[in-house]
Structure 1
Amino acid sequence: MKGAYQSWQLFLQLQKVTKFKIALCQLRVTFDKCKVRKSIEDATQKGAMLVVLPEMWNCPYSSDNFSSFAEDFNDGNASPSFVMLSEVARSQGITIVGESVPEHCGGKLYNTSCVFGADGKLIAKHRKVHLFDINLPGEISFKESDTITAGDK
């Protein structure tokens, strides 16, 4: 995420920040975006300038669920997670790393992270490149690559 790194440098230079609080939100998967928003706002009330959400925060982590929870980021009406993160970043004046949600784009599914600046604008987007595939015979077998397409960078 080279672009995101450059954005952070710019953010820190513009704000003349030498120290800032980061909040890492550990959330239960919820269909209620208001609860997630409240967690972000609570972190902001405690002084966080950067809030990071967990992977697949809006979706149970299983191949059976990715498609039904996928959102189209190019269509605001079809992406309540994208819209909510943008709105809360702007209203709270913070930066949010929405790490990550299933994204539907061009007939494919991606595991996509978005970074929203304090103005609510998308400043970086990253599609997971190295998908989680595991096969331990007799114990567990899971292939994220069965349903998710790897990003290209």
Structure 2
Amino acid sequence: MAVRDFLAAAVQLTSTSDPEANFSAAEEQIDLAARRGAELIGLPENFAFIGEPEQRLAIAPALADQASQFLITMARRYQVVILGGGFPVPVGDGAHTWQRAQLVGRDGQILASYDKIHLFDVDLPDGSSYRESSSFTPGSTLPPVVDVPGLCRVGVSICYDVRFPELYRHLVGAGAELLMIPAAFTAFTGKDHWQVLLQARAIENTAYVLAPAQTGSDGGRRFSHGHSMVIDPWGTVLADAGVSQGAAVAPVDLDHLARIRSQMPCLQHRRTTVF
């Protein structure tokens, strides 16, 4: 039986093209979050590597194993449930990787893996262009919902997914109580869209949102928005990590979730299926 409340942490990092430095920075924040009592910890997208596609493709075979083993080691060492929000996994063609999120239980068991299905191919008004599809392959299956022993039912997603509300309807329809949205949101789009999208996903699905994020510059041309957040099912921002490395830590209260779903039962009022 799940506890009725627990602390969750959305870790905020400034990852670079140096995986070992990234793992060290991530462990520092995991350690701090665990000391504060967090039992569920999310790491952002690209927690293990941010850099040029050529380097990512070259190191992906080794990095995929290293990142997964890192998550297993951290979960066991700190006795927490950890989501690694996205790391490259080779497709096999030498030119593309999947972007994989992995949820790991306290005992080091991999509870779920999800390969990002929505790829960010966008030309922004500030002149920045992003073509994830040039070196990433989209996943072929919808993200999972995991009944995490002792905590709650967790739905997994990654970054650009947040702009596709139907994906979160799927997750909530499959029983999700908490939506994890690890990201490396650009500074340009993040200033206007990040928080409002996260609050919308929380409100329309009456679910908690845990959104770990990248912040600052990776040393290249990319600047990330930061503002890792924990948001409750009413849309209230419970914690915001700002723009520095650190973590947003807040309680997830399943009794609070049940009250909001009872007071605002919009999930029971959906009629689109009858048309």
Is TM (by shorter chain) over 0.5? yes
**Does residue 106 in structure 1 map to residue 92 in structure 2?**
yes
Shift of 1:122: 0.5
Q: Following superposition of structure 1 onto structure 2, how do residues 114-125 of structure 1 map, counting pairs within 5 Å?
A: 114-125=102-113
Count of aligned residue pairs for this structure pair: 135
Gap regions ≥5 residues in structure 2: 142-275
Alpha-carbon spacing, 1:72–1:128, altered in 2? closer, same or farther (3 Å): farther
Q: What do you get for the CA RMSD once the two structures are aligned?
A: 2.1
Alpha-carbon spacing, 1:60–1:132, altered in 2? closer, same or farther (3 Å): same
Aligned partner of 1:51 in structure 2 is 41
Aligned partner of 2:13 in structure 1 is 27
For 2:119, the aligned partner's letter is: L
Aligned partner of 2:4 in structure 1 is 18
- TM superposition score normalised by structure 2: 0.45
For 2:56, the aligned partner's letter is: F
Identity over the aligned pairs, expressed in percent?
A: 29
Shift of 1:61: 5.2
Shift of 1:100: 0.7
Whose radius of gyration is greater, 1 or 2? Answer: 2
- TM superposition score normalised by structure 1: 0.79
Shift of 1:109: 0.6
For 1:123, the aligned partner's letter is: L
For 1:28, the aligned partner's letter is: T
Query: Bigger CA drift: 95-104 or 27-36?
Result: 27-36
For 2:88, the aligned partner's letter is: P
Query: Bigger CA drift: 127-136 or 78-87?
Result: 78-87
In 1, Cα distance between equivalents of 2:111 and 2:78? 16
Gap regions ≥5 residues in structure 1: 1-12
**Does residue 131 in structure 1 map to residue 119 in structure 2?**
yes
Could you list the structure 1 runs, at least 4 aligned residues long, displaced by more than 4 angstroms after superposition.
Answer: none
**Does residue 143 in structure 1 map to residue 131 in structure 2?**
yes
Aligned partner of 1:4 in structure 2 is none
In 2, Cα distance between equivalents of 1:63 and 1:80? 18
Asked if structure 1 preserves the Cα contact closer than 8 Å seen for 2:13 and 2:25, the reply is no
**Does residue 39 in structure 1 map to residue 53 in structure 2?**
no
Counterpart secondary structure, 1:17: coil
